[in-house]
Amino acid sequence: MKALVLEHNAPIDTAPLRLMDMPTPSPQAGEVRIQVRCCAICRTDLHVIEGELPPRRQPVIPGHQIVGIVDDFGPGCGRLKRGQRVGVAWLRHTCGRCDFCRTDHENLCESQLFTGYHADGGYAEYAIVPEAFAYEIPGVFEDVHAAPLLCAGIIGYRALQRSAVQNGDTLALYGFGSSAHVVIQIARHRSCRVYVATRGESHRELARQMGAEWVGEDPREMPVKADSAIIFAPAGELVPPALAALKKGGTLALAGIYMTDVPAMQYEEHLFYEKNVCSVTANTRDDGRALLAEAAQIPIRPHTTTYPLEEANRALQDLKDDRIDGSGVLVIH
C-alpha cells in the first residue's frame, strides 16, 4: 500500500513525510482493517511530526481522523460488517480496568494509546483499528465532511462540555481553526452568542460567515465578558487575557494537546471570583458518539480544503502557516 511515513522528527517545512510502499497490514484479534477514503489533517499531527510531542513510535504513519470502509476482520469481531463505513479517531486503546475507565473517564487511562502516534494512522491506503474504537458514521455526511469531526469535532465537543457553557450563553473562542469552526456551529445551534479572536483575515471572515457576533484579532478588544471561553490556539499567553474577559464564575477550557508556557497571572484579575480553568485531555468514546449524533442532527458542515495523499507535506505546511480555513483533508480513495 502507499503511505506517508515519518522516520525522524523534523520541521514540516523540510517535508519529512516520505511516500513509501508498505506492506498492507493484517488485522489481529479484535481488530478491523479499513480501506481509507480520506483522512483529515490536524495540528496534533504537526506536534507529532515536529517533535513537540515526545516520539513514541518511529517510523510511524501519522493521521487520526480517518474515514473508510471495513474490508477485513481479525478473530473475535462481530459488531461491524464488511463494506460498512466507519471512522477512526485519536483514542484507539484503553485498559478498561483502571479507576478512570470504570468511572467514564477513559480519556485519562494510564494505558491509553493513540492513532498515528503509538500506532500507524490514516495517511495511507489502509489502516488498522480495534473494532471497539471504530465509529459508525451517520449517512448524512460525505466522507470529507465526516473526517474533521473525528478529532476537531470530538475535541471541540469535549472542550464545549468542559467550558460549562449553557444554551443561550455568551461563548468566546480564541483561535478559529478546524476545531473552532465546528464548535461555533454547535454553539449557534444551542442559541449561544459567539465572540471570536483569531489571527488571519481569512479566518476572521469565516467566523463572520458562520455567525460570530464579534470577530477581531486582539482579544483585549472583545466588547463583552463571556460566560465561557475556549482557547484552541496552542498559545499560553492567551490564558491571562481570556480569564480577564470572563464573567464572575465563568469557565475557560484549554483545548490543545500542546500549549506554550502560561505567563504569570494576578490572582484578583485572572482567577478570583470563582473563575475556573479546565484542560481537555483526548476524549471518551461516548464523546465521539454524542458529537456525531448532534452533528448529524444540526447538521454540521465543515469547511474543507482537499489534497491528494501524496501532498500531505504541503497540506501540513499550509496548516502551520494558517493558509487553511476550516479543515484540510487528504483524499486517498
User: Tell me, what CATH number does 147's domain have?
Assistant: 3.90.180.10
pLDDT by residue (tens digit) across 39-62? 999 999 999 999 999 999 999 999
Question: Residue 298, SS3?
Answer: coil
Domain with 295, as residue range(s), is 2-152+282-331
Overall number of domains in the chain: 2
Average pLDDT along the chain = 96
What single-letter DSSP state applies at residue 288?
Answer: H
246 and 231, same structural domain?
Answer: yes
pLDDT on residue 257: 82
161 and 66, same structural domain?
Answer: no
159 and 127, same structural domain?
Answer: no
> What's 246's domain CATH number?
3.40.50.720
Q: What's the maximum distance between 2 C-alpha atoms anywhere in the chain?
A: 59
pTM: 0.92
222 and 297, same structural domain?
Answer: no
Other beta carbons within 10 Å of 333: 11
Confirm if 228 and 165 have CB atoms less than 8 A apart.
Answer: yes
162 and 118, same structural domain?
Answer: no
pLDDT on residue 219: 87
294 and 255, same structural domain?
Answer: no
CA distance 52 to 43: 11
pLDDT by residue (tens digit) across 224-267? 999 999 999 989 999 999 999 999 999 999 998 889 999 999 99
170 and 135, same structural domain?
Answer: no
CA atoms within 13 A on the CB side of 209: 14
What single-letter DSSP state applies at residue 132?
Answer: G
Crossing angle for the helix pair 201-209 and 178-189, to the nearest 10 degrees: 20
169 and 133, same structural domain?
Answer: no
Residue 35 CB-density burial (10 A; 0-12 exposed, 13-18 middle, 19+ buried): middle
Cβ-proximal residues to 201 (8 Å cutoff; 6+ apart), any chain: none
141 and 90, same structural domain?
Answer: yes
Closest CA to 325 of 185, 177, 198: 177
pLDDT by residue (tens digit) across 74-107? 999 999 999 999 999 999 999 999 999 999 999 9
204 and 261, same structural domain?
Answer: yes
When pLDDT is averaged across residues 112-120 and rounded to a whole number, the result is 97
pLDDT on residue 144: 97
